[in-house]
Amino acid sequence: MGYVRNALATWVLSFAAALVAVPALGAEAGSGLKWAGDFGPPQGAPIHAVLTSPPEVPPATNRFYPAKVIVDLEVIEKQMQISEGVSYTFWTFGGTVPGSFIRVRQGDTVEFHLKNNPANKMPHNIDLHGVTGPGGGAASSFTAPGHESQFTFKALNEGIYVYHCATAPVGMHVANGMYGLILVEPPQGLPKVDHEYYVMQGDFYTSGKYREKGAQAFDMEKAIDERPTYVLFNGAEGSLTGDRAITARTNETVRLFIGNGGPNLVSSFHVIGAIFDRVRNEGGSEIQTNVQTTLIPAGGAASVEFRTKVPGSYVMVDHSIFRAFNKGALAILKVAGEEDKSIYSGKELDSVYLGDRSQPNMNAVSKATAAAAGGRLTLKDQVDAGRDLFAGTCSVCHQGNGEGLSGVFPPLAKSDYLAAQPRRAIDIALHGLNGKVTVNGTEYNSVMPPMNQLNDDEIANILTYVLNSWGNPGGSILTEDVRKVRAGGTTAGGSEH
Amino acid sequence: MHACRRKALPALLLGLLLGAGSAVVQAADYVPVPAGSLRSVLVSDADPGPVAVASYAMRATPVTRAEYAAFLAAQPQWQRETAPLVFASPGYLAHWGAAADAGASASLTAPVTEVSWFAAKAFCASEGGRLPSWVEWEYAAAADATRADARDDPAWLARILGWYGRPADGPLPAVGGAANFYGVHDLHGVVWEWVDDFNALLVDADSRAGDDPDRLKFCGAGAISFKDRANYAVLMRIALLSSLKAADSTSSLGFRCVRAEGATP
């Protein structure tokens, strides 16, 4: 059967080489968080690892000696919902996507039992990136349906590691959800936080379109072309939104263990509205602070920590943003608690913005400016330019027809107040008007802000337009008049308000 | 539930069932598969060209539960309670009733599963046949309804993948799906099937270090060697077979037999 041998050898050699884990580092390596992890033979009675389903993380080991830890993980092939009304046959470690979270301590001797449910169709195995040894355990855990494999490894390196199935074809096993995380705690444990959560991204390839209803099959063609139908956190659209959002209160510390199972895409992990105080890049020992978006490679993981300060919903996304809004990569962290207006005010102002600087409005203004520069400025130029400028700025309160809003914004149309002293309007435009005025028999007591963002030309044109509209007395205000008022003089002879 | 139903079955039904089974065994339908050559997914290191395949006759359908029940009645040494563990590990016929009880009549026409390689071999011998070699199986399975080799057709691939995508939790369908080019049914879409040389799909003839090095070569194999995209679907069969030992069985693994063309039991 030599022909068989050669084919098999070709399949694997390069892949197996890539699977060999990095040897343990010295105690002085990195920032001191990595230690040569062999603390000798296991002590005490064997411990059965607590496994949790996402988004939960098992409790800290709180242990200060190396133990023998037994991990029982069952592979289950099952149909689950990938999106509302869309089902997919997932292959899972422990019945969930991602698989059960495993937590051990550096130096522990892990006795791993991989069980392949008898109802399953496929053989499976497991490659844990936290294992030092060829294949990461894959070779020793190849298991037929209805069988159980056992192998043992010493967790030499602390960190957060991906595990996944490595049975041929690897890509398909991974694409069907066969990945999860194993945390190897440093000997001193991780700093205490209020919440730890488990989130893992993966890309999925279904025969139907995004959200096409019914049972969807795996599409190898799309997978090879790296055109995912879904990009998801925790294996299903909506797995971490609505009632299933993860939660915290204000002024708490949150640690997220973020993995990326792939099979293809790299994640630009971002939490909208939060800044990561601390990130362990790629799950390694270097700690990066003040991070907005962290890159999580396929087959990699990171832990991110931040303090919640402002209540509300924080949306977690893959910031390759079409994945978030068109392929499902959305999750929510809901933070409850008291507002802190000094950090974030919420909405303080909602005013109409009509885009007064947009180009179509500016034609008449440009013409007037050019005419003024050439000494050919006519009243009509001024009125035309003023109309356009009025529409963007003044009409918000005084309305497009100059009528204002009775009792709130005084009218400019047929205004006795304006007619009494037309040039007083220059001062009002430049400096605002604060306090009681009576216009056409109605009393107004509100605030007009200074319009000093407008230049002299613009104010002259606006006021000329107003004076020549809606039954007002007419006349012209020139740039020079405005300049004088701005410079400190008044041509209006003082205001009466 | 299962146990209750079993107890309710009168002994009479068991007798009927075995009688019916015997009849089916005698009527087992073999169809001729002419000689030819195959571009196998497993490529020879000495000769990378196509593999020559001699003619043979193949069972038109996988062996059914009824047929297997008849075999157990004729050869009680293969019943679950009597078959030696070295030939049939504990999963053997695990969901059968006592002795040769194949279960409810509805399932009698479904393919038998939970059968070890040793048991499958013995069954085939009992009707004058043998298990097919991998290449024989692959050769017949390359066909669709109208062509001897349809593997370049995406529809052929899609059909295989459709089955991989379905979970195995429901009852198996009856045999007798659409016939392929040779008149063989159900090579895809119902069960995995034992082949005679399943063990050689992994074992390196030169290896003296036991099975471990070769298992490593297989595990993590995956996408690297796909000569074409269709191969991986077939390779999954090899992955399944290579995860097993000859005494093992699974709930989705059955078998069929071949024999020399023109031979009769």
Cβ contact A7–B223 (<8 Å): no
Long-range contacts of A221-225 (CB under 8 A, 24+ apart): A221/B229, A223/A171, A223/A172, A223/A175, A223/A263, A223/A264, A224/A171, A224/B223, A224/B229
Nearest Cβ partner for A146 among B44, B169, B250: B250
CA gap B239, B164 in Å, rounded: 13
* Residue A294 pLDDT: 97
* Residue A369 pLDDT: 76
CA gap A93, A100 in Å, rounded: 6
For tokens 């490894």, name the residue: A153
* Residue A346 pLDDT: 81
A471 sits in the region (left: phi over 0; alpha: psi -120 to 50; else beta) called left
Q: What angle do CA B120, B124, B125 make, to 5 degrees?
A: 115
Cβ contact B43–A121 (<8 Å): no
* Residue B230 pLDDT: 56
* Residue A313 pLDDT: 92
CA gap A177, A166 in Å, rounded: 12
Q: Where are the alpha helices (DSSP H) in A138-266?
A: 170-175, 220-225
Nearest chain B Cα distance for residue A331, angstroms: 27
CA gap A313, A293 in Å, rounded: 18
DSSP run (H or E) holding A418: helix A416-420
* Residue A449 pLDDT: 85
Question: Low-confidence residues of chain B, pLDDT below 70?
Answer: 1-27, 43-48, 98-106, 202-231, 264-265
Please, how many CA atoms are within 13 Å of residue A237, restricted to the half-sphere of its CB? Answer: 20
Residues of A with Cβ-Cβ distance to B220 under 8 angstroms: 12, 15-16, 19, 127, 135, 138-139, 166-168, 170
Question: Low-confidence residues of chain A, pLDDT below 70?
Answer: 1-35, 350-362, 392, 489-497
Nearest Cβ partner for B225 among A7, A118, A220: A7
CA gap B204, B191 in Å, rounded: 27
Nearest Cβ partner for A11 among B164, B224, B249: B224
State how far the alpha carbon of A379 is from the alpha carbons of A384, A395, A478, in Å. 9, 21, 10
| A142 touches A149 (CB < 8 A) | yes
> Burial letters for B49-58: b for 16+ Cβ neighbours within 10 Å, e otherwise?
eebebeebbb
Residues of A with Cβ-Cβ distance to B217 under 8 angstroms: 8-9, 11-13, 16
Q: Please state the domain extents for chain B.
A: 2-259
Best mutation target, B219, B231, B251, to test chain A (most A CBs within 10 A): B219
CA gap B180, B141 in Å, rounded: 8
* Residue A371 pLDDT: 81
Residues of A with Cβ-Cβ distance to B169 under 8 angstroms: 78, 119
Nearest chain A Cα distance for residue B127, angstroms: 28
What token pair was written down for B198?
A: 């399943």
For B10-40, the pLDDT digits (tens) are: 333 333 434 443 434 445 899 999 999 998 8
Q: How many CB pairs under 8 A join A and B?
A: 182
Cβ contact B169–A169 (<8 Å): no
Nearest to A303 by CA among A462, A191, A209, A419: A191
Q: DSSP label at A281?
A: G
For A363-390, the pLDDT digits (tens) are: 777 777 778 777 788 888 889 888 888 8
User: Over pLDDT 70: what percentage of chain A?
Assistant: 88
* Residue A116 pLDDT: 95
Q: What is the ipTM of this complex?
A: 0.72
CA gap A112, A139 in Å, rounded: 13
* Residue A317 pLDDT: 95
Nearest to A307 by CA among A260, A243, A256, A240: A256
Looking at the domain that runs over B2-259, which CATH code has it been given?
3.90.1580
Q: Where are the alpha helices (DSSP H) in chain B?
A: 2-8, 11-26, 65-74, 117-126, 134-141, 154-164, 212-218, 231-242
CA gap A97, A54 in Å, rounded: 8
* Residue B43 pLDDT: 66
* Residue A7 pLDDT: 42
Residues of A with Cβ-Cβ distance to B201 under 8 angstroms: 1, 4
* Residue A133 pLDDT: 87
For B237-252, the pLDDT digits (tens) are: 888 888 889 999 998 9
Cβ contact B252–A166 (<8 Å): no
SS3 percent helix, strand, coil of chain A, rounded to 5, is 25, 30, 45
Residues of A with Cβ-Cβ distance to B236 under 8 angstroms: 122, 168-169, 172
Q: Which residues pair with A197 in a beta bridge?
A: A256
What token pair was written down for B239?
A: 């992955």
* Residue B215 pLDDT: 42
* Residue A393 pLDDT: 77
Q: Which residues pair with A436 in a beta bridge?
A: A445
